[in-house]
Structure 1
Amino acid sequence: MAAALALSSPALANSAMAQGWPDRPVRIIVPFPPGGSNDIIARQLAEALRERLGQPVLVENRAGAGGNVGADSVAKSAPDGLTLLLAAPGPLAINEHLFRAIPFNPQRDFAPVALVATVPIVLMVTKDLAVHSVAELVAMAKRDPGKLAFGSSGNGSTNHLAGELLKAQAGIDIVHVPYRGAAPAMTDLVGGQIQMMFDNMPAALPQVRGGQVRGLAVAGATRAEALPDLPTIAESGVPGFEAEAWFGLVAPAATPAAALTRLQEACGAALADTALRARFAQGGAQAGTRLGADFGRFLVTEREKWGRVVAASGATVN
Structure 2
Amino acid sequence: MNSAKKLFALFLSIAGLPGGQAAHAQAQAYPSRPITWVSPWTAGGGNDILSRALAEQLSSRLGQTVVVENRPGATGTIGTAQVARAAPDGYTLTLASAATHATAPAIYSKLSYDPVKDFTPITLVATVANVLVVHPSVPAANLKELIAYAKAHPNQLNYSSVGAGSIQHLSGVMFNQLAGVETAHVPYKGTAPAVVDLLAGRVQMAFESLPTMLPHIRSGALRAIGVTTSARSQVLPELPTLAEAGLPGFDASLWYAVMGPAGIPEPVVKTLHDSVVASLKTPEVMRRLSEQGADLATSTPAELAAFVRKDTEKWAGFIKRAGVKLD
Q: TM-score, normalised by structure 2?
A: 0.79
Percent of aligned positions that are identical: 39
Deviations 1:159-180 (A, max 9, x none): 3221101111222222223456
User: Aligned partners of 1:247 and 1:273: how far apart in 2?
Assistant: 17
Change in CA separation of 1:113 and 1:268 when aligned onto 2, cut-off 3 Å: same
Residue 239 (structure 2) aligns with? 230
Contact 1:66 1:155 in 2 (8 A): no
Q: How does 1:88-103 map to 2 (within 5 A)?
A: 88-103=97-112
Counterpart of 1:260 in 2: which secondary structure? helix
1:242 match: 251
Alpha-carbon spacing, 1:173–1:277, altered in 2? closer, same or farther (3 Å): same
Do residues 105 (structure 1) and 114 (structure 2) align? yes
Residues 64 and 297 (structure 1 numbering): CA distance in 2 closer, same or farther, change over 3 Å?
A: same
Shift of 1:86: 1.0
**Where in structure 2 are the equivalents of 1:10-25 lying within 5 Å?**
10-25=19-34
CA contact (8 A) 2:116 2:305 kept: no
Structure 2 Cα separation of the partners of residues 62 and 128 of structure 1: 40
Structure 2: give runs of 5+ residues left out of the alignment.
1-8
Match 2:309 to one of 297, 300, 304: 300
Report what 2:39 is aligned to: 30
In structure 1, the gaps of 5 or more residues are: none
**Aligned match of 1:74:** 83
Identify the match of residue 45 of structure 1 among 54, 70, 73: 54
Report the Cα offset of residue 116 of structure 1. Answer: 0.8
Write the distance in 2 (CA, Å) between the matches of 1:137 and 1:61: 40
Q: Tell me how far apart the structure 2 counterparts of residues 3 and 32 of structure 1 sit (CA, whole Å).
A: 37
CA contact (8 A) 1:30 1:61 kept: yes
Task: Using the TM superposition, give the Cα deviation of residue 127 of structure 1 relative to its aligned residue in structure 2, in angstroms.
Answer: 6.4
Q: Which amino acid aligns with 2:26?
A: M
Look up the match of 1:119.
Answer: 128
Give deviations 1:22-69, integer Å, cap 9, x for gaps. 344433323333444333433332333232222333433333323222
1:218 corresponds, among 206, 227, 230, to: 227
Output one character per residue of 1:230-253: Cα deviation in whole Å (capped at 9) or x when no partner. 233234444443332211111112
* C-alpha RMSD over aligned residues: 3.4
2:64 alignment counterpart = 55
Deviations 1:153-203 (A, max 9, x none): 444443322110111122222222345665664565456664332134455
Instruction: Report how many aligned residue pairs link the two structures.
Output: 318
Q: d(CA) in 2 for partners of 1:190 and 1:268?
A: 39
Separation in 1, partners of 2:100, 2:175: 21
- Deviating more after overlay: 142-151 vs 60-69: 142-151
Work out the CA distance in 2 between the residues paired with 1:188 and 1:91: 28
Which of the residues 60, 70, 83 maps onto 2:92? 83
- Counterpart of 1:151 in structure 2: which amino acid? S
Any conservation in 1 of the 2:98–2:253 contact (CA below 8 Å)?
no
Partner Cα distance (1:120, 1:171) in 2: 23
Report deviation, 1:270. Answer: 1.7
